[in-house]
Chains A and B, each alone.
Chain A
Amino acid sequence: MTGGSLERSAGTRTTDENGFPLIFELSRPGRRAWSLPEVKVDAPELDELIPKRFRRAHPPVLPEISERDLVRHYTRLSQRNWAIDVGAYPLGSCSMKYNPKVAEEAAALPGFASLHPMADDSLVQGALELLGTLQEALCEATGMSAITLQPAAGAQGELTGLLIMRAYHEANGDARKRVVIPDSAHGTNPASVSLAGYQAVEVRSDERGLVDVDALLEVLDEDVAGLMLTNPNTLGLFERDIERIAAAVHSIGGLLYYDGANFNSIVGVVRPGDMGFDIVHLNLHKTFATPHGGGGPGSGPLAVTERLARFLPAPVLAFDDGAETWSWDHDRPDSIGRIHSFHGNFGINVRAYAYLRSLGPEGLRRVAERAVLNANYLRELVSDSFPTKYPGTCMHEFVATAKPLKQHGIRAMDVAKRLIDLGYHPPTVYFPLVVEEALMVEPTETESKETIDGLADALNRIAVEAIEDPDLLHDAPVTTPVRRPDEARAARQLMVRWPAS
């Protein structure tokens, strides 16, 4: 059993020094795809309406191309790309699970896709009801009381949560200075902490791969606004001491922030609110299976406990029991303010809603069960070749190490590149930083046993090849349109746009 393979259409594997053409190189003067009406109204000419100093002197260099060539260009480009719909994508921490097509159909309905964001609330009741039901379900799943769907991604949810943390402390008379994060945290955590005007303090992991509680206790004082924690953490391990940690943070008046990057492993099993968290963000593009779009869009709802609800970004969704109508409540004097132009990534929230409704309560729990089962199963199958540093069951992902292969001159990146030739997208490599030669593997709940067996076979085979035929790994990949692009050159000889002239 192998995974998919990248389709290579004619001409993509070229020895032409220019390689695959850019759309600009396909441009020919006078060709067009566009079809737009004439102006057709009795209005003055452009020159009479717009003063010359505001008029464009030289048109932008956009491609001039027929619709047929436009279609071929982007179709071929798409074929130069891996995707969940092509094959397995076990990127650790990214939760690349299958994205159901029915959710696409839902989001494209005119009563969602063709709504103007500033239409009066009375005109968008169906959309608001959908958001209201989604909010309620997400609050229930996280054990929180109130939520905003404005954040467009996890990092924006983080900032929103940290600004709420700040607002809470300021309301108590002191904003405080520092936020604690574990050394295994995602880079967005410390970056968000800085943006919120706090100083990030790292706390180390112990030999179990968990937060070192003694080290945490040492850094906790009354200048600490809170702790940001991903649980399970980025090593795929559940923070067993979470109750002690929560009590310690609360004892100094701090707040506990839950980074929901790995929520898919516990949904329906345990709730952040029950663990003691005060603020929770979710990544709907992970747990709720919305397509990741080559890097976005996502959606990063932010949920809080009752006492923090007044600080949520305005406006918040309100339901009038008497009139049975939904509306946006803009009158929120304690709100941290708006964080998105409109209502967040609504189209993504519609997809998440469709996913939620197709699963129901039992289905949601099954997501966690199968994600954790698949990860532990795969870890077991490859444990001889790629051991994990920490014992015990992992959650939805595990961090293995390619360190044993280093003596043969093989690095984690070589393993990753060889895996491509065997038909799989590689795991996340070199993260988290606390594991040497890290391979962070997340099979997700939507891959079949056959696929996981195939992936395990491929990884085990690579471990053998690393010793018997290491050049096979050094030369990999050989099946892709390009091989090992020179990243140092990209940064040194910077080319970040096609030079028009």
Chain B
Amino acid sequence: MLETIGLERIEDLFEPIAESLRLDRALDVPVALDEVELLDHVGALSRRSRSAGELVCFAGGGSYDHHLPPVVKALAGRAEFATSYTPYQPELSQGVLQAVYEFQTLVCELYGMEVANASLYDGANALVEAVTLSMRSTKRAKVLVGATVHPSYLAVLKTYTSGLDLAIEMVGAGDDGVVDWSEVDAGGAAAVVCGYPNFFGRIEDLGAASEVAHAAGALSVAVTDPTAMGVLASPGDLGADVAVGEGQGLGNPMSYGGPYVGLFATKLEFVRQVPGRIAGETVDADGRRAYVLTLQAREQHIRRAKATSNVCTNQTLMAIFAAVYLGWLGPEGLARLGQICVRRSAFAARRLSEVPGCEVAFAGPHFKEFVLRTPTEGAALARALAERGYLVGPGLGRWFPEHANSLLVAVTERRTEEDITGLAEAIEKELAG
């Protein structure tokens, strides 16, 4: 091959790089392992962490131990999806394009919206994009955020918009763990952001938040857990203009926080402000139905500095996982999932409240998680419970010093009555300690 090129040595290929710049040594990185050694090595590393397979997982806060149907990985994990690139050549990409089109439809159905994109990095980034869409659509530079929105999402919003001229105003919550939106004045705001359900698992009055937003000419933005959409009214039903959320719970493993899938949906009137890729239906040269990436003039590779977002690579494969999962679940499965979450978490809330010194911090309707107030520091209790085989939390102290003696408890369809009773007993023993 070198001969064809007309060179003598491999080194000659790097002629354009000044010799003084080139490394005169090998990189100081770990030596190569063969496949047997590599699997032994990563296996040993894997065993040095305590997974949700080993601990009974009641942890929440934006990542949940939901059931992962084997069929989802078997299909969405197929190499034809996993090892393909962005569908720039539609003739060779109908599989991904149609799967994304189906995903967009499913997200619209869950959230009661008219258009969804092909995914964003995660829930936090979806919220950022909802806020910047609102800023562009209203030409305003202020946003009202409920204090019960996931604190990491808020942190990401602050970071992302730190170079923009945006004022982020927090709206405090009451003793019941929800914002009293009826008292809020959204004058001058581009958007009102409401967690639904919120970080404490409480079901916020999204309808009231939407009314407040619309009265001031602002957009109503809902941060919504998609697994709740079998039992809770959709954001669209409650007046939201943009609905975003974390799609991890839809068939994706917890995987220490990623790769997840940011869901983003809105009304058709904002379609030209939507960030990222959108698959659209069309016909081919022979009149057959076909799918393509559409409205690309919004995107960075066409519009460059004036694009709606800088997003390019997204989380398409995780979106396909979510689409297959929702196909597996169907409307009845989604309703059942929601019923289990609501009723088993209510059972867990009551059972854990019976532990001396413990109580549910915020009374009122919850979806699948709740805040348990305990006599000791929440994060420390979570650490101690891991020793007893239970993963709970996070403790709230890092974000809410006033709630340092509290932690989140999430109950998915994987948690049985026995698990819940076991957790209650473990907490009781630990506190009696």
Q: In the assembled complex, how far is the CB of residue B146 from the closest CB belonging to chain A, in whole angstroms?
A: 16
When each residue 317-350 of chain A gets 1 if its CB lies under 8 Å from chain B and 0 otherwise, what string results? 0000000000000100000111111111111101
0/1 interface trace, chain B 26-54, chain A, CB 8 Å (1 if under): 11111111110011011111111111111
CA distance A292 to B54 in the complex (A): 31
**Could you tell me which residues of chain A, from 456 to 490, have a CB within 8 Å of some CB in chain B?**
477, 480-487, 489-490
**15 residue pairs bridging A and B, Cβ less than 8 Å apart:** A34-B336, A54-B203, A85-B83, A86-B80, A114-B65, A116-B57, A119-B59, A199-B305, A240-B18, A292-B313, A294-B95, A350-B42, A486-B283, A490-B280, A494-B295
Please, which residues of chain A bring their CB within 8 A of the CB of B55?
123
Q: Which of A15, A49, A417 has the most CB of B within 10 A?
A: A49
Residues of A within 8 A of B229 (CB): 56, 60
Do B21 and A62 touch across chains, with their CB atoms under 8 A apart?
Answer: no
A428-443 vs B, CB cutoff 8 Å, 1 = contact: the mask equals 1001000000000000
What separation, in Å, do the CA atoms of A365 and B29 have in the docked complex?
11
Complex Cα distance, B150 from A370, in Å, reads 46
DSSP majority for the A interface?
A: loop
Interface segment out of the listed A64-72, A213-221, A249-257, A399-407: A64-72
Shortest C-beta distance, A36 to chain B (Å), equals 5
A10 within 8 A of B: no
Indicate if the CB atoms of B30 and A191 lie closer than 8 Å: no
Q: Are A130 and B365 in touch, CB under 8 angstroms? A: no
The docked-state distance in angstroms from the alpha carbon of A267 to that of B17 is 13
Q: Which residues of A contact B195 (CB under 8 A)?
A: none
A-contact bits for B389-417, CB 8 A (1 contact / 0 none): 00101100010000000000000010011
Instruction: Assess whether B231 is in contact with A127, with CB atoms less than 8 Å apart.
Output: no
Q: CB distance B340 to A498 under 8 Å?
A: no
Q: Are B156 and A498 in contact (CB under 8 A)?
A: no
Using A129-B48, A297-B315 as known contacts, say yes or no to A81 and B18 having CB atoms under 8 A apart. no
Are A291 and B383 also in contact (CB < 8 A) when A41-B420, A112-B46, A496-B104 are? no
Distance in angstroms from A270 CB to nearest chain B CB is 5
Give every chain B residue within 8 A of A14 (Cβ-Cβ).
Answer: 288
Residues of B within 8 A of A126 (CB): 44-49
Say which residue of A102, A119, A297, A350 sits within 8 Å of B317 (CB atoms). A297
Is the beta-carbon distance between A338 and B29 smaller than 8 angstroms? Answer: no
Q: Are A482 and B290 in contact (CB under 8 A)?
A: yes
Q: How many angstroms between the C-alpha atoms of A156 and B163 in the bound complex?
A: 14
- A290 → B minimal CB distance (Å): 10
Question: A residues within 8 A CB of B391?
Answer: 116, 119, 123
Which of B116-124, B137-145, B180-188, B354-362 forms contacts with chain A? B116-124
Instruction: Check if A341 sits within 8 Å of B159, measured CB to CB.
Output: no
Residue in A79, A152, A342 whose CB lies within 8 Å of B315: A152
Verify B23–A115 contact, CB threshold 8 A.
Answer: no
B164 and A197 contact, CB distance less than 8 A: yes
Residue count of chain B within 8 Å CB distance of chain A: 205
By Cβ-Cβ distance, the 7 closest A-B pairs, closest first, are: A342-B257, A197-B163, A360-B32, A111-B46, A293-B317, A81-B95, A126-B48
Q: Which residue of A lies closest to B328 (CB)?
A: A33
Partner of A60, one of B150, B260, B282, B334: B334
B341-376 interface mask toward A, CB cutoff 8 Å, 1 = contact, 0 = none?
011101100100000000000000110000000000
Task: Select one of B7, B85, B153, B333 contacting A292, CB under 8 A.
Answer: B85
Q: Mark B155-167, 1 if CB is under 8 A from A, else 0.
A: 1101110111100
In the bound assembly, the distance between CA atoms of A359 and B286 in angstroms comes to: 47
Q: Does A61 lie at the interface of the complex (its beta carbon under 8 Å from any beta carbon of B)?
A: yes
Given A70-B327, A337-B156, 9 further pairs, Cβ under 8 A: A37-B416, A62-B109, A82-B84, A116-B256, A296-B316, A330-B398, A342-B260, A359-B32, A373-B10
**Residues on the B chain within 8 Å of A240, using CB:** 16-18
Alpha-carbon gap, A111 to B44, bound state (A): 9
Question: Could you mark each residue 245-287 of chain B with 1 if its beta carbon is under 8 Å from any beta carbon of chain A, else 0?
Answer: 0100000011111111000000010010000011111111111
Q: Is the beta-carbon distance between A496 and B294 smaller than 8 angstroms?
A: yes
The verdict on B432 contacting chain A, using a C-beta distance below 8 Å, is: no
Q: A357 contacts which of B6, B38, B232, B386 (Cβ < 8 Å)?
A: B38
How long is the Cα–Cα vector from A348 to B84 in the complex, in angstroms? 15
Report if A271 contacts B (CB, 8 A). Answer: yes
Segment 105-147 of B: residues with Cβ below 8 Å from A? 105-106, 108-110, 112, 114-116, 118-119, 121-125, 132
